[in-house]
Structure 1
Amino acid sequence: MRIDAHQHFWDYNSERYGWIEDKAIQKDFAPEDLKPLLDLHGFDGCIAVQADQSEEETRFLLNLAAEHNFIKGVVGWLDLSAENIEEKLAQYAKNKSFKGLRYTVYDEWGEFMVDRRFQNGISKLSKFGLVYEILVFPYQLKGAIELVNRFPEQRFVLNHMGKPEIFENASEDWKEGIRSLAQNKNVYCKISGLLSAAGKREWGLQDFYPFLDFVFENFSEDKIIFGSDWPVSLSGGSYAQAVDVIENYLSAQDENLLRKVFGENAKKFYRL
């Protein structure tokens, strides 16, 4: 099974998706737009990930998954700090497409990850077999490390390799964060968001390789997952380029590793 484990759908409006600065993607993106790209590159399906902190979007994505069987799972958003979070999780977990939750980190140091109420919500996820996707910047990795150390049985995946600055030397904060997270058997890493990080600047394959090298040196090949980050990735290049960066990087490796990174690890992590 070949899986694109990180992409988004949205009905665009400027208020809800105010974080989208690139005018080229300030429009709707639907399953009908993605399916031909998945087919062209041999993908059997995808994981749709939240792009807005709302329960409404979670329901929107689950409805899309019900209509399109190539959407193999949905990572949505619920208020993990809410008093009724266990009740909410029980409700959503009845839907087989509901695989877990993600928060978009905006506070300066990611303090909410170590907040007692938020961690209470995290503590309920494993009961329902749900994952948590960690989206942080390098300077917020310490909060993520504290979070995963607190919950060694919870399945976590680091999104976008911890968002390193692609056109700068890897920071010590990022390196130490990757090293620490990789030591946890329950933490996976998505090699995703590379073109999104490059944005409108000209890039070459070699710009990404030092960061990919470091991730592969630290994370087991059984815990690394590919994701295109489409359509956000269109800010830096085409869907084909998002795939080609990783396929070119792994071109000298054996087919077994490619199968793991491009699907088998995602299948295991999301229990597809």
Structure 2
Amino acid sequence: MPPRRIIDSHIHLWPHSAASPSGHSWMEPGALLTRQFSIGDYIAANKHDPALEGFVYVETDRKLNPFRSEDQNFEWASETFEEVKWLKRIVEGTPLEGEGFTKEQGDLMKGAVIWAPVDHGLDVFKRYIQMARDVAGDKTWKRVKGIRFLLQGIHDETKFKQLVLSAGFADVLRYLPQTEERLSFDVGVDATRAGVWQLEVATDAIESLRAAGESGKNTVFILSEFCEKPFRNTSLTESDHMWASCIERLSKDPNVYMKLSGGFSEMQKQEASNPWPSSKVADTMRPWLDRLFKCFSPDKVMFGSDWPVCNVGGPGIEHAWSSWKVAVNKILENYHLTDEQQAQIWHGTALEAYRL
């Protein structure tokens, strides 16, 4: 049954002023994503879907300069504050010329996951959050629900472990539910381009945090995009079994959630002129979906489009969002979920996990 209510738990937006390598170091001139993607574009992509009630904005990995401990104003992270200002314009309905959204459209952003430094200790983290709060203002800050720090960019296993298993990292994670906002942590690891070991180390860190005492039990973790596992084999490989083991361990934690998102980015590229039918998408993902739905109940899984990144591997800007929605609808039907369980995935879990 098509959803009646949708909260898209994972989208990215950026203005034209940040659509360059100076705003995002991962952007390349002329690439598909090196252009503005705003709320107006998002609404066009989902074809004004009447079921869409809103979305959760997820930070876009703005460019960072080398960390300087003496820099009390975080000039090395100035682009991330530009991102907060962008969110403020969205919430307050004050777009700069050509930024592609109206005052009313800003209401669609029900929550935001911002970047924050988790790699320099709790004191630096607290100072950054206070400065971000000051830049955002009260109205915008009320929409901030979580933080993300892309661990997936650390491909050196030794350096990854030095951070993720460190006392300073644990201190930050332990502090999140103590904040007034009860901030959650979006876990960004990449089992494809980095290796499944990233997920294993992250799983170890979460379990260690829980075992350390009551103060570590309330942090909410939200896993993005299947932890970027590739959907290109017809059966599970050794790496996939390692992934599945971590998923099973994490699913036992009452404060760990999974986003049903990012599928197109991990499949063979589709052609805009010939989008895959929803049955092919569902069948391609089935070995991993079997594990997901065996381990995670519907109230721990949430729909996310990963727009506009889904345009890259999916069937193009005009079709990717709606194609993913139809594919997810097919997936939920395949697993014979009740209407109530499906509604939980389409909107209920995001409302709960992000406290929208």
TM-score where L is the length of structure 1? 0.91
**The one of 50, 55, 58 aligned to 2:80:** 55
Preserved CA contact (<8 Å) 2:84 2:132: no
Q: Say which SS state the counterpart of residue 99 (structure 1) adopts.
A: strand
Per the alignment, residue 144 of structure 1 pairs with 202
Q: How much does 1:196 deviate?
A: 1.5
CA distance 1:122–1:258, change in 2 (3 Å) = same
Query: Computing the radius of gyration over CA atoms, which structure comes out larger, 1 or 2?
Result: 2
CA distance 1:62–1:172, change in 2 (3 Å) = farther
Q: Is 1:88 the counterpart of 2:135 in the alignment?
A: no
Per the alignment, residue 218 of structure 1 pairs with 295
Please list, as runs of the form range in 1=range in 2, the aligned pairs for 1:88-237 lying within 5 A after superposition: 88-90=128-130, 92=132, 94=138, 95-104=141-150, 105-108=152-155, 109=157, 110-111=160-161, 112-128=163-179, 129-138=182-191, 139=196, 140-149=198-207, 150=209, 151-168=216-233, 169-170=235-236, 171-198=240-267, 200=269, 204-205=280-281, 206-235=283-312, 236-237=314-315
Preserved CA contact (<8 Å) 2:232 2:268: no
Structure 1 outlier segments of 4+, above 4 Å: 90-94
Q: How much does 1:118 deviate?
A: 2.3
Preserved CA contact (<8 Å) 2:232 2:266: no
Identity %, equivalent residues: 24
Q: How much does 1:199 deviate?
A: 5.3
Count how many residue pairs are aligned between Structure 1 and Structure 2: 272
| Structure 1: gaps spanning 5 or more residues | none
- Name the stretch that deviates more: 103-112 or 258-267: 103-112
Q: Distance in 2 between matches of 1:146 and 1:49?
A: 24
CA distance 1:6–1:98, change in 2 (3 Å) = same
Q: Is 1:262 the counterpart of 2:353 in the alignment?
A: no
Q: How much does 1:115 deviate?
A: 2.3
CA distance 1:63–1:180, change in 2 (3 Å) = farther
Across the aligned residues of Structure 1 and Structure 2, the Cα RMSD in angstroms comes to 2.1
CA distance 1:20–1:179, change in 2 (3 Å) = farther
- Name the stretch that deviates more: 230-239 or 136-145: 136-145
Please list, as runs of the form range in 1=range in 2, the aligned pairs for 1:23-34 lying within 5 A after superposition: 23-34=31-42
Preserved CA contact (<8 Å) 1:224 1:265: yes
| Structure 2: gaps spanning 5 or more residues | 63-78, 94-105, 210-215
Q: Say which SS state the counterpart of residue 107 (structure 2) adopts.
A: coil
